[in-house]
Amino acid sequence: MSKETILMIEDERPIAETLLYALGREGFGTHWSMTGAEGLAWFRGHRPSLVVLDIGLPDCNGLDLCREIRAESQVPILFLSARAEEVDRIIGLELGGDDYVTKPFSPREVVARIRSILRRVGGPHSESDASEEPPQAIGPFVEDKEKMRISYYGEALDLSRYEYRLLSLFLGRPGKVFSREEILSRAWEEPEMTMDRTVDAHIKSIRKKMRAIRDEDDPIRTVRGVGYALEL
């Protein structure tokens, strides 16, 4: 069994060394790159199981690098962020990052996040899956669980991983009012480390994507003081 390799692209030596040590102790293989260019080159040659990506790099911006990686791979990406504004940009830009942690963080927290992401995606980025489930129509939506895709009025919604999980949760129980807490605990792997406003930010983004397809009242209802429900 080959062990999973984590590529870390981070220019701050103390941060990188602490994380590399923690990951090594947990049995992960690791590679450390201090620049985006070197990290991308290594990524292309080795296809690691997951990428830990700093946003402020000496030669480029981690958000742009994420876009480049995404153009060729669905490898899970965990962002390391120094500022809250960056977190907003990660969520807002919908770059397809899988999660983020803000500095300062504990190595243990980062390792826990990495484990949960890898669990969720089922080990080294598996592009194909054996289990076949035909796409299901629910109101104006069609959900293809196998491909983790949802279309709305016949057009594919370009959803991030969490947006997909969130909308899929709603589609499983139309009409049910989900509290933010419930949404966090069902759609997020580490709900205790995530904030309520993350749910709101993702809902906002899903609504925007639905509105781009059909500019009318979207079916997600906000239940004041409680959470959200899907009305079909």
Instruction: Give the residues lining the site for Ca ion (CB under 5 A).
Output: 11, 54, 56
- When the beta carbons of 63 and 229 are compared against Ca ion, the nearer one is 63
Which residues, other chains included, contact 99 with Cβ-Cβ below 8 Å and sequence gap of 6+? Answer: 78, 79, 113, 117, 190
The least CB distance from residue 77 to Ca ion, in Å, is 16
- When the beta carbons of 63 and 213 are compared against Ca ion, the nearer one is 63
The least CB distance from residue 82 to Ca ion, in Å, is 7
Distance between CA atoms of residues 159 and 106, nearest Å: 30
The least CB distance from residue 58 to Ca ion, in Å, is 8
The least CB distance from residue 93 to Ca ion, in Å, is 18
Distances (CA, A) of 191 to 37, 108, 109, 150, 228: 33, 16, 13, 23, 17
Distance between CA atoms of residues 177 and 183, nearest Å: 10
- When the beta carbons of 87 and 183 are compared against Ca ion, the nearer one is 87
Distance between CA atoms of residues 176 and 34, nearest Å: 47
- When the beta carbons of 56 and 191 are compared against Ca ion, the nearer one is 56
- When the beta carbons of 12 and 26 are compared against Ca ion, the nearer one is 12
The least CB distance from residue 168 to Ca ion, in Å, is 34
Amino acid letter, 107? P
